[in-house]
Amino acid sequence: MVSDLLIPGTLLVLVLFFTKVKFGQTAVRILQRWISGRVIDWSDYAQLSGFPLPRPLPDFQVDAAKPRPYRPFRWEYHQTMSLMALEPDWWLELESTYRERIVQRRGLHEKLGTAILEALPGSEEACQELMQIVIQFLCARYPNQFMLDVKTGVFHNRILDIKCDVREVDPLVFLLDNVPEDFLVVMPDKITGLYHLRAAVSCSAVGWRLREKMGRPLHEIHGPVPFYREKMQFSMDRFFSKMPCNKPIQRGSWSLEIGQPLYLQPGDEEWSHRDAQLSSLKIEEIFLRVDWQTLRRLPKSQAIIFNFKGVFTPVTSFRNEPYIPRLVLKILREAKEPFLEYKSTRHVAHKLIPALEQWTLEQEEKGWVPKDWKERTLNEDPFFPNWESQWDHSIGA
């Protein structure tokens, strides 16, 4: 009888119902249970992908944590993706803006709906898998902030003191509510093999509209990127088709902003500031925005996940960062115009360049930077010399 065939599975479920698992404390086991006629499969994604879970931070304090000081400046500039191997501990980096960003992102979704969050048919499995691997990372890296109760399927975010049933929640809404990062899900077209954007949570967008990108292939998504079609399209299509699960990568993209715009589009009132050089602008109002990006392939659906978060730093911080003022000054003075336009530099250059000149002289006088140093990408890229001595170690690592 069918009921007899279900007995072994039922016994397993009963055992799991009385087991509360914190992913990452031990190797994550394959967990299955029948709930309302639906099987939920919690797989060991570290084992499936060949990419390890992060080390736990049991003493982590989110309100004191600061992001790593990403400075992805390169010279001479060559149009490449500048890919680096992803460090297992740093896939999803939480820091002191966590609460503020979650509130911003929820507000954007409430106001803009599918302009922020959308999934096309056929992406359901990939979105579900993405949510599961995110949960495993969060519970492993931040064991005192996040917990999944396998008995009930309830995920507990202790930072925000919110709970949700992961059996019922929309995976993309779960990401929106718990992780202050954007997630783009790209999947291969069955006919062409080219990767298309199939699902997304996109709240950290400046001049980038999800509705214009949804369903499109990579080369159309990257249309505004200078020289992408001529120099990068072929290699990127090939990279995506061959990217393995066990070798996720990371990279950084940067721009210069007035204030800290998380989501900004042409037509918004603040957008007009990007078209003019305001004489009233103060150096303290200028921020470096770094979108720290990662790419990883999901082992089951084979979708590729592109995720990133916007990290804002006042440019006045450059004053105490060896080599950074001189390197940025070189870029602003000598980079090609399409590159500078894409990086959004013109509207702040009139204030930033004089400050960089002053800080460069100060660093040379202090002996931090040799006067005959030839500008180049730093050995510490994407950071700067002795960055760890300045970085706030309050993350508990």
Per-residue model confidence (pLDDT) at position 361: 98
Q: Please list, in sequence order, all residues whose beta carbon lies within 8 angstroms of the beta carbon of residue 397, skipping any fewer than 6 positions away.
A: 55, 57, 89
In whole angstroms, what is the distance from residue 330 CA to residue 240 CA?
Answer: 33
Please state, for a pLDDT cut of 90, what percent of the chain lies above it.
68
Per-residue model confidence (pLDDT) at position 96: 96
**Residue in this structure with the two tokens 């069918």, named with its chain if needed:** 2
Residue 391 has pLDDT above 70, yes or no: yes
Give the strands of the sheet with 146-149, arranged side by side: 146-149, 154-157, 162-165
244: preceding bond cis by omega (within 30 degrees): no
Give the bridge partners for 39, in sequence order.
34
**Residue in this structure with the two tokens 């460069």, named with its chain if needed:** 360
Which structure tokens are listed for 221?
């998504």
What's the mean pLDDT in 318-338? 96
Stated pTM of the model = 0.86
What's the mean pLDDT in 349-376? 98
Pair 315, 288: CB distance under 8 Å = yes
Pair 286, 258: CB distance under 8 Å = yes
What's the mean pLDDT in 76-101? 87
Give tens-digit pLDDT for 67-83.
999 999 999 865 555 68
Please report which confidence band the pLDDT of residue 226 belongs to, taking 50, 70 and 90 as the band edges: low
